[in-house]
Amino acid sequence: MKLTLAELQAARDLDLGTSSPITIRQSRIDGFANATDDHQWIHTDPERAKDGPYGGTIAHGYLILSLIPHMFLELVDLSDAGMVVNYGLDKLRFMAPVPTDTDIELRAKLVSGQKRLGGALCRVRCDVIAKTTGKRAVTAVILLLVLPPDTTLQGSSESSSDASQPSSP
């Protein structure tokens, strides 16, 4: 779905659809474990995990969370944007495990948009579904700052007392 910055600024409760599935392989889990130094056996030891609570290894919750931007950008064409900045998360929950070799998909809804720094601050409801079970694995409202081309954020900072409003120079 193609969305302009003006459309993002005015958006309310817009269903963005469902992404293509991504298969969560053990090699991806192991790579994430190496990147984050989280080598807990439930994620990285298939032999030991066979006797664990899930009958095999499961993906790190933060691995599944980290795939949301990729799946989100499959759903929307932001061709008039210069950049998309991860701004934060609200209401993040890890709802169910994602066993190795499970396909996941993102179901996304643009809850709201508002004008911010010449672009749009978007609140996107994201549900990552484990297709084998049909259960939500991760649910969150992600905050994305979609900025026009030639925007510079160098030297700007957000106020720690009110992260929803840009600070004064």
The tens digit of pLDDT for each residue in 16-69 reads 999 999 999 999 999 999 999 999 999 999 999 999 999 999 999 999 999 999
Would you say residue 50 lies in a domain?
yes
Q: What are phi and psi of 4, to 5 degrees?
A: -85, 170
pTM for the predicted model, two decimal places: 0.86
Would you say residue 157 lies in a domain?
no
How many domains does the chain contain in total?
Answer: 1
166 pLDDT tier (thresholds 50, 70, 90): very low
Would you say residue 168 lies in a domain?
no
155 pLDDT tier (thresholds 50, 70, 90): low
Looking at residue 156, its pLDDT comes to: 56
Would you say residue 9 lies in a domain?
yes
Would you say residue 85 lies in a domain?
yes
Whether 141 contacts 114, CB under 8 Å: no
Looking at residue 157, its pLDDT comes to: 54
Give the pLDDT mean for 81-105: 95
Give residue 79's domain range: 5-147
Would you say residue 156 lies in a domain?
no
Looking at residue 59, which CATH number applies to its domain? 3.10.129.10
The three-class DSSP label of residue 43 is: helix
Give the pLDDT mean for 64-92: 93
Would you say residue 39 lies in a domain?
yes
Please return the burial class of 79, using the count of CB atoms within 10 Å of its CB with bins 0-12, 13-18 and 19+: exposed
CA dihedral sign, ordered 74, 113, 126, 42: positive
Would you say residue 154 lies in a domain?
no
Angle at 144 between CA 141 and CA 148, to 5 degrees: 160
Looking at residue 95, its pLDDT comes to: 97
CA dihedral 61, 64, 68, 74 (to 10 degrees): -170
